[in-house]
Amino acid sequence: MMANLQELLPVILIMAGVTFLTRSAPFILLSGKADHPMLQFLARYIPPAIMTLLVLYSFGSVEFATSPFGLPELTAAMLTVGTHLLWRHALLSICVGTAFYMVAVQQLI
């Protein structure tokens, strides 16, 4: 037990330190500059860009070339978007899409 802890603690601490470094860098380097017009501009337009990229990234590992050709993912995504456009209730949209996806990958394929 102690050997495990001694072996892994440095790994955990270094990973924690490096991760915090990447998350805190802009706050340290740009402290007090939040009112700069360019940062205001970026604060407005980075979130939509990153959300687009996170969606693309989520679909990046889907195999569209082989069966089932990404159909579970695409259908679940369309259900999520459709539900959200109809009721604009985030949790409902997410539950509908996720429930369909779970049934699809566990039962249908």
CA distance 62 to 104: 14
Preceding amide of 37 cis, omega within 30: no
Interface characters, 50-89, with other proteins (x: CB under 8 A): xxxxxxxxxxx-----------xx--xx--xx--xx----
Per CB under 8 A, does 40 bind other proteins?
A: yes
Specify the 3-state DSSP secondary structure of 88: coil
Pick from 78, 80, 77, 71: which is nearest to 104 by CA?
71
CA distance 90 to 108: 26
Q: For other proteins, how many residues bind (rule: CB under 8 A)?
A: 69
Residue 101 CB, shortest distance to other proteins, in Å, is 4
Residues that bind other proteins (CB under 8 A): 1, 4-5, 8, 10-16, 18-27, 30, 33-35, 37-60, 72-73, 76-77, 80-81, 84-85, 90-91, 93-95, 97-98, 101-102, 104-106
